[in-house]
């Protein structure tokens, strides 16, 4: 620490505050700049998305809206189905990149809302979503699977709202 103090006139508290500030700015602002993204290739998916869910074995599709909050260290999703009758909050989210393609793996807790709904109507599940900015930069497509209490699976297709 004597090197920092003698070279830059910093004591440990000042150094802590300086590096905390740099970390905060990187986490919230710089990580998704074009220059920095060239190095890590993680796309900024934050914003509002809308689309549909197709449950295997059922006719028709359900409308869905998704809000994504993302920083360098945080990725959270809130999914709303059927105009608020069910909401799903991400419990964990993992993002992987390979050759320009991005894959999201999200575990979620879904809560059914409305008359007669209680804890028994909640379920957990997993979403696997793919994003390929070279083919369709405004799309997320994939599959979902629910726990045995709900026992359903299907396709999910989302388009970023502008």
Contacts of residue 54, Cβ cutoff 8 Å, sequence gap at least 6: 61, 62, 154, 155, 156, 157
Q: Where are the beta strands (DSSP E) in 8-138?
A: 47-55, 62-70, 75-81, 86-98, 101-112, 123-131
pLDDT tens, per residue, the chain with 162 residues: 556 566 666 677 888 888 999 999 999 999 999 899 888 888 899 999 999 999 888 888 889 999 999 999 999 999 998 767 788 999 999 999 887 789 999 999 988 776 666 666 788 999 999 998 888 889 999 999 998 888 889 999 999 998
pLDDT score, position 55: 87
14 DSSP assignment: H
pLDDT score, position 115: 65
Identify which of 51, 89, 83, 86 has the alpha carbon closest to the alpha carbon of residue 68.
89
pLDDT score, position 99: 77
Contacts of residue 162, Cβ cutoff 8 Å, sequence gap at least 6: 138
- CA atoms 137, 143, 144, 150: torsion sign: positive
Question: Residue 53 in contact with residue 64, Cβ under 8 Å?
Answer: yes
| CB atoms near residue 90 (< 10 Å) | 19
What is residue 74's three-state secondary structure? coil
d(CA 63, CA 78): 14
d(CA 154, CA 58): 10
| CB atoms near residue 84 (< 10 Å) | 10
| CB atoms near residue 56 (< 10 Å) | 10
Structure pTM? Answer: 0.83
pLDDT score, position 10: 65
pLDDT score, position 106: 95
- CA atoms 55, 60, 62, 63: torsion sign: positive
């Amino acid at each position: 620490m004597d090197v920092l103090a003698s070279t830059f006139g910093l004591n440990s508290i000042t150094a802590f505050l300086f590096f905390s500030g740099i970390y905060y700015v990187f986490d919230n602002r710089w990580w998704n700049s074009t220059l920095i993204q060239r190095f890590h290739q993680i796309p900024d998916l934050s914003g509002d998305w809308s689309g549909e869910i197709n449950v295997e074995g059922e006719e028709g599709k359900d409308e869905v809206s998704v809000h994504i909050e993302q920083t360098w260290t945080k990725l959270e999703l809130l999914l709303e189905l059927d105009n608020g009758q069910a909401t799903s909050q991400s419990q964990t989210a993992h993002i992987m990149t390979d050759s320009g393609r991005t894959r999201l793996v999200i575990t979620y807790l879904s809560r059914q809302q409305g008359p007669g709904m209680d804890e028994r109507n909640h379920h957990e599940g997993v979403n696997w979503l793919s994003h390929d900015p070279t083919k369709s930069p405004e799309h997320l497509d994939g599959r979902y699977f629910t726990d045995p209490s709900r026992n359903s699976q299907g396709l999910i297709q989302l388009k970023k709202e502008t």
